[in-house]
Structure 1
Amino acid sequence: MKTKTAASQMAMTWGRELKKTSRSKPLGSRIADLCIWATLILLTSLCVLPMLNMVSISFSDRVAAQANEVGLLPINFNVSAYQVLLGDAQFWRSFMISVERVILGTALNMLLTILMAYPLSKNKQQFGARNVYMNLLIIAMLFSGGMIPTFLVVKSLGLIDTIWSLVLPGAVPIFNVILLMNFFKSIPSSLEEAAIMDGASKLKVLFKVYLPISLPALATISLFSIVGHWNDYFSGLLYINKAANYPLQTYIQQLNIDVTKITDVSQLKAVAAISNQTLNAAKIVVSTIPVLLIYPFLQKYITSGLVIGSVKE
């Protein structure tokens, strides 16, 4: 009881202080605050409401979905679309291929990005060929080789129908390199000089000094890599010929229900209860969940990583 009373008193005190603060503000400032809050609520609604509608459609009856009657709540709640999607063995195989791609691709992206960003963060006196490499990176970022030449290179290396065809063509994300390079530039050079005076090598300075204080930038670029690998479906269409080797996004983009191959009665009933709208909505929901689970762990680093890494001094 004492705890509840103390908590209620603190809440009342905080409320009074908030009222005093709001009253002490000029009328124009309070109106500006209201406009800002209204804008933020509107933008949040524009982001959240379509997702709620998509989730509701995935759990709704096929008739209601086809008639566009579903709003923010499901109509005739059912999980038939998820039964069809999750009941397919190929779904889980493609899911594991995408997980493997995310782990392998993100690890490779991070390694190459770090090893490129560190020397490029030095000035021309410290790294004489810096401008040459920077010009090459900028040209490569603005002008790609094209889809057909890239496919021919991947094919000539014998990477078709392998996980490496999904990982190696984008192994060096140039935007991430520039972002991390600018973040490294913001780190005081005195830290590196002190470590070198203590006998640390350049590689040790990178991994013992730079990386521990670069968590915001590292979290930001790792999230970019994770989302990029997870959401990419076009690479699977280009480089994977066997449907059994499709990553998840390519699989759900190509998913077609073949009734002649379904022998389970429960699966037939589930197929009869869904439509293209409910199945597509279930695809979107299932493919979004892993990213939503990862994002909260990295969110606190995103803003600072983007702001610091995007400013060039």
Structure 2
Amino acid sequence: MSKGKILLAVTGFDPAVWRKALEMAAPDRTVVEEPDGAEDGSIDYAVVWKQQKGILDRLPNLKAVFSIGAGVDHIFAGGDAPRVPVVRVVAEDLTGRMSEYVAWQVLDHHRKGPLYRSQQARKIWHEDRFQPAAEDVTVGILGLGQLGTDAARKLSALGFRLAGWSRSPKTVDGVDTYAGDAGLGAFLAACDIVVCLLPLTTDTRGILAAPLFDRMKREGPLGAPVLINAGRGGLQNETDILAALDDGRLGAVSLDVFETEPLPADNPLWAHPKVMITPHAAATSVPEALVPPMIAQMDAHDRGEPLRDLVDPEAGY
């Protein structure tokens, strides 16, 4: 028996690739693409990324919305708030990719990658003999959700000391945890490298800015603190980042996300010697890995089972 339809509404990804994955995983469901599915009463589920504004409100029998990326702020952009449950993507593939990116960037800064690349460009053979051990460096994770917790575990296996900050108290083995506004200052003062994996909400928008940089650790084994942002571009104030790099409050940054994407060619971040730029590539959403768990959830929900990994619409994540 044919099941309800799936609306595919994605921007910035190839819809044909996602449609193929959906049709292979759910041959008993019809997949329709935005905007053809507007006001279709036979659509049960929507799979989205930066969907057309208002399209979800025009689906009278919609049961749930699935995001194909780790962030869900795009679903609520412009004040839209779906009247149905929103499901975050939680998959080992996506989590593993993000942890790889975080470990790569942490190790690159720790082992003086920027210095040696600069020396290579100038054909300079010089070993910087001041190389702290991993156990002498504290990496702090802003955001202890699925991604942050997994990254912390893998960095711990490399020998780094770990700290973590979240909005509400959490306990993670091997991680010194801090919570809320009261714990943010102590967290920042403890960290040599800060990795941001926060969701983008009204509370976190622009958090990576001068007031936060002013509270970061001033001295440590790496000199000035390092910032790595693989969360969302809206978390960072790029003008403040450049100023903090120039006056020494930040020693270096790795940025995978930006306020405007693609990053404009005239943005000064491109040419700054203390900036590592990657093109929103930290954790690519691969349909072959992410679609089957979505379909499994849809089928289970149709059988009366509860959905998992739901977004709190009040918190925005």
Q: Same fold (TM over 0.5)?
A: no
Q: Higher Cα Rg: structure 1 or 2?
A: 1
TM-score norm. by structure 2 comes to 0.23
TM-score norm. by structure 1 comes to 0.24
Give the structure with the larger strand fraction. Answer: 2
Higher relative contact order (CA 8 A, sep 6+): 1
